Amino acid sequence: MGQEKRITMTDGAGGEKMMAFIRRFVLANFGGNAGEIPLGMLDDSAIIEGIAFTTDTYVVKPLFFPGGNIGSLAISGTVNDLAVMGATPVALSCALILSDGFPLEDLDKILRTMRDCASKAGVSVVTGDTKVVEKSALEGIFINTSGIGKRSQFLDGNIKAVRESRKFSYNWPNDSAVAAGDKIIVSGTVGDHGVALLSFREGYGFESKIKSDAQPLNHMIAKALEVGGITAMKDATRGGVANALNEWAEKSKTGIILEEDRIPYNEAVLTACEMLGIDPLEVGNEGKALIAVVPQLADDVLKALKSTKEGKKAAIIGEASKKCRGVAMRTSVGGLRVVEPPADDPVPRIC
């Protein structure tokens, strides 16, 4: 008798294996062409009837961590997936799955964080659902949030500015729209969320210096769009910067070259990653966006980002280029190394 095939943790870990799983099971059934940015494009949100629409489920352990809790992730993650499409988030849903016996005090704390985070982002939670299940099914809380957004008031002007520099056939920034010459900006330090969580969970003791970066980025992104020239944006969540940039390279059919020296890091994140033998580029972030911009406007967009609280440490970290395939990085010592998409998550269950 053959071994029965079953789902594994890596099928949901956000890397290349999850991509294969999604193609085989999800797209095979739902991958139609509905919408301007359909499901099959696997972008941060779908665009349908002019509306951005996205959903995400949060299963992080532990529920409370330095810099936030599952509630700040549940709002920020979904708001950011709308914002990086060039959409202004309008409304969210909130579905709670709770285990029998979950402390009401913790639930209250999580919901208050969600309320505060949503109010910071300027969105309302307008619909939801609550289920309580036996402890054998779940221990703790899972949260699903879906969100809708409308076209940003700055998006037409942004695209007009792109078209003054080069051809651009899209109506929204997206993963397939990066082209050789575009500068790549990251909106702040890389790796904070994943490393903060790992350190806290495993008791490594770095958490006094490293906090999760979970935060809504929609106001910062609006400032950048107002300048214009943005061709693609992506929040570097699971699989980190390595995964997000490899997705761009593959979908846009362009190479991307990073400059290691220009990538902003918290010193403690680098130290922790070195000690633990993990690549900070593969670690998930919950409040950082990658932004591709036509070269003529890159400095202006950078300046706009730096004028915001969320984007103070933004930096131009590389550019799209025909000189390589996939993602490569010029290292501090002058060599060129390939930045592979991670096969799975080096730090599981961080969102």
Contact residues for Mg ion, defined by CB under 5 A: 44, 81, 235
Number of Cβ within a 10 Å radius of residue 184: 26
Residue 207 or 344 with smaller CB distance to Mg ion: 344
Measured CA to CA, the distance from residue 289 to residue 192 in angstroms comes to: 13
Between the CA of residue 36 and those of 11, 25, 75, 243, 318, what are the distances in Å?
A: 28, 22, 25, 24, 29
Residue 162's closest CA among 328, 350, 296, 305?
Answer: 296
Minimum CB–partner distance for residue 193 and Mg ion (Å): 13
Residue 92 or 268 with smaller CB distance to Mg ion: 92
Minimum CB–partner distance for residue 29 and Mg ion (Å): 22
Residue 235 or 319 with smaller CB distance to Mg ion: 235
Residue 81 or 344 with smaller CB distance to Mg ion: 81
The rounded radius of gyration (Å) of the Cα atoms in the chain is 20
Minimum CB–partner distance for residue 78 and Mg ion (Å): 9
Cβ atoms of 267 and 200 closer than 8 Å = no
Residue 182 or 235 with smaller CB distance to Mg ion: 235
Minimum CB–partner distance for residue 235 and Mg ion (Å): 4
Residue 69 or 80 with smaller CB distance to Mg ion: 80
Measured CA to CA, the distance from residue 277 to residue 287 in angstroms comes to: 23
Which runs of consecutive H residues, i.e. helices, occur in 22-168? 28-30, 70-83, 104-121, 155-163
> 48 has which bridge partners?
51
Measured CA to CA, the distance from residue 69 to residue 340 in angstroms comes to: 30
Minimum CB–partner distance for residue 54 and Mg ion (Å): 8
Nearest residue to Mg ion, by Cβ distance, number only: 44
Between the CA of residue 114 and those of 11, 37, 212, 259, what are the distances in Å?
A: 28, 28, 15, 36
Minimum CB–partner distance for residue 305 and Mg ion (Å): 18
Residue 44 or 192 with smaller CB distance to Mg ion: 44
Between the CA of residue 46 and those of 26, 50, 149, 174, 198, what are the distances in Å?
A: 15, 10, 10, 10, 31
Residue 76 or 113 with smaller CB distance to Mg ion: 76
Minimum CB–partner distance for residue 59 and Mg ion (Å): 16
DSSP, collapsed to helix, strand or coil, labels residue 249 as helix
Between the CA of residue 227 and those of 90, 151, 159, 161, 299, what are the distances in Å?
A: 22, 16, 10, 9, 10
Residue 336's closest CA among 278, 271, 257, 276?
Answer: 257
Minimum CB–partner distance for residue 45 and Mg ion (Å): 8
